[in-house]
Structures are given as C-alpha cells and as structure tokens.
Amino acid sequence: MYWIDSHCHLADPRLSDQLAQIMSRARQCGLRGFLQGGIGPEDWLRQERLQKTYPEIISCFGLHPYWVVDHTSSECDGALDILATKLHLSAGIGEMGLDFRSHFSKDSHERQLDCFEKQIDLAKMCQRPMVLHLVRAFDQAVRVFEMHGVPASGGMVHSFNGASTEAQVYLDLGLHLSVGGPLLRSNSARLRQALQIIPIEKILLETDSPDQPPPSHQDTFNEPSTLLAVADAVAKIKGLSKIEVLNQCTKNLAKLFSLPLKPSVRS
Ligand SMILES: [Zn+2]
C-alpha cells in the first residue's frame, strides 16, 4: 500500500525549478503516486517528459475547460483527435468538464459543452475513468450525464466543494468525489457537512497543486505534501485515523484507475 495524490499538476511550468524539493518532501510524507490532471496538448507532452524523471507521476490526458475557453472549435477538435491517439498512455481522461464562472465568456459555453460530450464518448470508447472539472455548472453537467449516460468506467469529481444534495446526485450517478485544500479553509462548513453523507469508499484525496493552497501555503504554491492535512480533516469528520483515511482513499483511487498498490509506507 502506498499513498497517492489523486489530482495535481506537477508538469505546471510554475513548479519546474522547485520540483525536486517538492517531490522529496512528498516522499518524506509517504506519497508514492501523483495522478495528473491534463490541460491540453502542450501539457500532455510535459507530463510524458516528466514521467521519464519521476516514474511515480501518473499521466492523465484531457482537454481542460480553461484550454477550451482559450481556443477555437477547430483547434479543440484537432486536440481531441490527438487525445484519442494518446489515451492508451493515460490512466484516465481529463480534466474535462464545464466551468461557467462569470469571468469566462458565455460564448465559450457551447464549445465547452461540445468538448465535454466528445470526451464522454472518448471515455466510453477507451474505457478510461473521467477526471471531472465542474464549476458553477452543476445542473448543466447533470443534464449532460442524463442525456449521454455516465461511462461504465466511472470517474471522479475533482475538487468537490458542494452541498450534500449535490454530493448525493453525483453519488447516484456512480461518481467518486475528490476533496482537497478548500476543506482546510475556515469557510468549509458546507463541504464538511457534505462529507458526512459521502461513504468513505467514494472519497478521494487531492491537492490540485500548485493551485488551491490550504491556509498553511497561502503565500506560496500548493504541493502534494499538504495531502496529509486533507486526510487529517477527513479523518476527524469520519471518526477514523489519518492513516485509515489515506489507506482507504488510495485504495479507492487505485480501484477506479486500475493502479497497482505497493507495500505500505509508514509515517
Ligand atoms: Zn486540476
């Protein structure tokens, strides 16, 4: 058994000059796997290169809603064609989904929906679990799943930060819910309440490094070593030990993404 950060972006250029130290701190915490969230073709290549240095980096390729917002429909279609040829190298597909926050132009909504639906089809075809980025688009995302169905390979809602009613809908769709840094903020009462109804077998732990830092890393980049604090917060809510939560959530992720489990690392 070893522990995995279910979602991070270690190929992010912002981390490149400090990655060796970040990986060493993560190893000292007992982390031995890092599932990536894919952004677009440039990021997929960076992940492939990084994996040669750090084999514990687990590639995941997908077209992120941010990338979709910044590119034309034909550029998105071109990227999806490349994605289809690379999914055999990827543990899952994503991040993919919808981000309807107001700072993204409404003109992008249709393109985001189109890329989301096409990636659902790819997930079905390649039998890859989905890494979902769903922000301010709960109703629209549920409608898409009602129309297209959830792929049998399932998926995870990354950085889930919603209410228990939303958690229940995602659970009913068969999805896992991944929680991270926002759980450690002072305004996390709603998420803490939601976690009470989510079975431990459906919970995943993530950092989303270098983004979404917990208060301890507010003035710097987030990094996978903060996963232990997330595990501790979940443990207190679920009445379990931190190690039990880390073990169970890693098992959940390994099962969902068909990852091997190695002997336990004690901390
Ligand atoms: Zn992400």
CATH number at residue 234: 3.20.20.140
User: What is the extent of the structural domain holding 25?
Assistant: 3-257
How far does the centroid of ligand 1 lie from the alpha carbon of residue 170, in Å? 18
- Residue 50 domain flag: yes
Q: Is residue 124 part of a domain?
A: yes
pLDDT tens digits, one per residue of 45-102: 999 999 999 999 999 999 999 999 999 999 999 999 999 999 999 999 999 999 999 8
The rounded Å distance from CA 208 to ligand 1 centre is 5
- CA 83 to centroid of ligand 1, rounded, Å: 17
Q: What are phi and psi of 103, to 5 degrees?
A: -75, -5
Distance, C-alpha 114 to centroid of its chain: 21
Is the separation of the CB atoms in 22 and 48 below 8 Å?
no
What is the distance between the alpha carbons of residues 99 and 45, in angstroms, rounded to a whole number? 24
CA–CA separation, 85 and 241 (whole Å): 42
Q: Flag whether 104 is in a domain.
A: yes
247 in any annotated domain: yes
* DSSP per residue, 183-196: GGSTT-HHHHHHHH
In a domain, 56, yes or no: yes
**pTM of the prediction?**
0.95
Total of domains in the chain: 1
CA of 59 from ligand 1 middle (Å) equals 13
User: What would the pLDDT profile of 138-186 be if each residue is shown by its tens digit?
Assistant: 999 999 999 999 999 999 999 999 999 999 999 999 999 999 999 999 9
Look-up: residue for tokens 């599932």?
35
Residue 11 lies in a domain: yes
What is the 165 CA–ligand 1 centroid distance (Å)?
23
In terms of DSSP H, where are the helices of 136-265?
138-148, 164-172, 189-197, 227-238, 242-257
In a domain, 266, yes or no: no
How many A from CA of 44 to the centre of ligand 1? 13
Is residue 265 in a domain? no
